[in-house]
Amino acid sequence: MRKRITAVVLTVAILFSSCLVFQTSANAATSLQNQKNAKESELANLKKDKAAVAQSLAEAKSKANEQARVVELMYEEIGICQQEIDTTNDLINEYFALAQEKEKEIEEINARMDKNFELFYQRLEFAQISGNLSQIDFILGADDFSEILARTEIVKDILDNDRALIEKLESDRKEVEAAKAEIEVALQKCEEQKLILEDKITELNDKVAAADAYLAQLQADQNNQQAYYDAAAKKVAAKEKELDVINNQIKAQAAAQNQSSGNSGNSGSSSGGNSGGNYSSADWHGIWPVSNSYKNAISQYFKGSAHSGIDIHTYGVRNRVPALSVLSGTVVRTGMYASWGNLVVVQHDNGYQTYYAHLDTILVSNGQRVSQGQQVGLIGSTGNSTGAHLHMCVVTPSGVRVDPLPYIR
């Protein structure tokens, strides 16, 4: 009787201990899940902040680039104005030289005219002394040469050659003076244009100084936005690492629970980690995910959390070796994922998932139904990879990665 009571007590104690262990494990799982949820919420907020800062950074860069172009165009306009000033200076120098030449010609003509006037009066005086002309006093009393020509016709008969020469000199002088006047007008216009251009350059320099100051302000704002973005990116990266740690803890806890459940409830069975117990590796009938040419080309076996799959290398061959779906199912994820590289995830009808990573090319799309043996991609070396190979994972319905070999051999 005493032995029976002792056995009952021991049984109750074991059951109570098991309940405590289960409750502790459940509490730990709940705590980890709560931490995960909190971290995911924080990560989502940080990513929103990062996206907002990225938008601000893009706007700051756009404004700075636009202002830099404005400043560049202003400097180009200043350069054009300076070229126009240089050209105007050349014209001023040229017109000034022409004006000097005309002034010199005028001086020469005046000298020749003075000389001819002197000779003309000498002839008139000679004519008066010799008595060859009448009304000489009247002619000599004229105020100028034009009046002389107008008062008497006798001079035309006596001194036609002198008169023609003097008239020609008078005509030449008027022509040169007119040319000089035109040159001086052009010279004045050049001087005025030069002043206008110099005023424009002064105005442009003032505008450039203001534009440069604004550009410096925009570039400072861009640098600040870049610093904010870098800080936000670091926060996101740090939070992602924290979340990875919690996810690994959750997976390790789930693996431990599955192991414990398998040892207690399925001893002797070849369980693949399905917590529901509906499927085991023996139920799979999965095929090898690469052609038979690489049947034994496995470079690294399943190592749990350290290496949660197998690497099937293809002896350096890439872009031509296809990765095959080991069972029929539906594609639930495709794309580039950091260390995974190009990744395809297939959800199978039994609740399991298979991962095909480091692909060079993805041949399927999300939501696509694939059959057993269908090509899902071409093997490559994208992501965290040092050579062409296929990284293949099997994940149970509870989210635990298990050794793929029992499922595909």
What distances in angstroms separate CA 100 from CA 17, 91, 104, 178, 181, one per listed residue? 122, 14, 6, 14, 12
What distances in angstroms separate CA 197 from CA 94, 95, 208, one per listed residue? 19, 19, 16
Cα angle, residue 327 at apex, residues 322 and 330 outer, rounded to 5°? 90
Count of helix runs (H) and strand runs (E) in the chain: 6, 10
Per-residue pLDDT at 147: 60
Per-residue pLDDT at 271: 36
Q: Is the pLDDT of residue 85 over 70?
A: yes
Q: Is the pLDDT of residue 161 over 80?
A: no
- Using a pLDDT cut of 90, give the percent of the chain over it: 22
Between CA 364 and CA 407 the distance in angstroms is: 23
Specify the higher pLDDT residue, 186 or 257. Answer: 186
Q: Categorize the per-residue pLDDT at 176 as very low, low, confident or very high, splitting at 50, 70 and 90.
A: confident
Per-residue pLDDT at 335: 93
Per-residue pLDDT at 253: 72
Q: Categorize the per-residue pLDDT at 356 as very low, low, confident or very high, splitting at 50, 70 and 90.
A: very high
Fold of 34-263: Helix Hairpins (1.10.287)
User: What's the mean pLDDT in 99-123?
Assistant: 78
What distances in angstroms separate CA 397 from CA 116, 217, 274, one per listed residue? 127, 56, 6
Between CA 230 and CA 191 the distance in angstroms is: 57
Between CA 184 and CA 187 the distance in angstroms is: 5
CB 376 within 8 Å of CB 342: no
User: What's the mean pLDDT in 364-391?
Assistant: 92
Structure tokens at 94: 């040229």
| Per-range mean pLDDT, top range of 15-19, 301-305, 334-338, 364-368 | 364-368
Between CA 105 and CA 95 the distance in angstroms is: 15
Exposed / middle / buried, residue 346 (Cβ in 10 Å: 0-12, 13-18, 19+): buried
Residue 217 CA, chain-centre distance (Å), reads 20
Per-residue pLDDT at 22: 44
User: What's the mean pLDDT in 196-206?
Assistant: 88
Per-residue pLDDT at 13: 46
Per-residue pLDDT at 137: 56
Q: Is the pLDDT of residue 353 over 90?
A: yes
Query: Where is average pLDDT lowest: 6-10, 75-79, 324-328?
Result: 6-10
Q: Categorize the per-residue pLDDT at 110 as very low, low, confident or very high, splitting at 50, 70 and 90.
A: confident
Q: Is the pLDDT of residue 154 over 60?
A: no
Domain ranges of the chain: 34-263, 278-409
Per-residue pLDDT at 136: 54
Between CA 372 and CA 284 the distance in angstroms is: 11
- The phi, psi pair for 346, rounded to 5°, reads -115, 130
Q: Categorize the per-residue pLDDT at 46 as very low, low, confident or very high, splitting at 50, 70 and 90.
A: confident
Per-residue pLDDT at 303: 82
Per-residue pLDDT at 369: 95
| Per-range mean pLDDT, top range of 10-14, 121-125, 270-274 | 121-125
Per-residue pLDDT at 53: 87
Fold of 278-409: Glucose Permease (Domain IIA) (2.70.70)
Specify the higher pLDDT residue, 55 or 172. Answer: 55
Task: Give the three-state DSSP class for 315.
Answer: coil
Average pLDDT of the chain to the nearest whole number = 78
Q: Categorize the per-residue pLDDT at 190 as very low, low, confident or very high, splitting at 50, 70 and 90.
A: confident
- Using a pLDDT cut of 70, give the percent of the chain over it: 75
Fill in the DSSP letter of residue 286: P
List pLDDT tens digits, range 294-338.
Answer: 887 888 888 877 788 999 988 777 668 999 999 999 999 999 988
What distances in angstroms separate CA 2 from CA 147, 155, 377, one per listed residue? 171, 178, 69
Q: Is the pLDDT of residue 15 over 90?
A: no
Per-residue pLDDT at 138: 52
Per-residue pLDDT at 124: 65
Per-residue pLDDT at 130: 53
Residue 354, C-beta contacts closer than 8 angstroms, at least 6 positions apart: 289, 325, 326, 327, 329, 345, 346, 348, 392, 393, 394, 395, 404
Between CA 50 and CA 232 the distance in angstroms is: 5
Q: Where are the beta strands (DSSP E) in 239-352?
A: 298-300, 310-313, 322-324, 329-337, 341-348
Per-residue pLDDT at 355: 96
Per-residue pLDDT at 156: 55
Per-residue pLDDT at 392: 94
Per-residue pLDDT at 307: 83
Per-residue pLDDT at 377: 95
Per-residue pLDDT at 12: 44
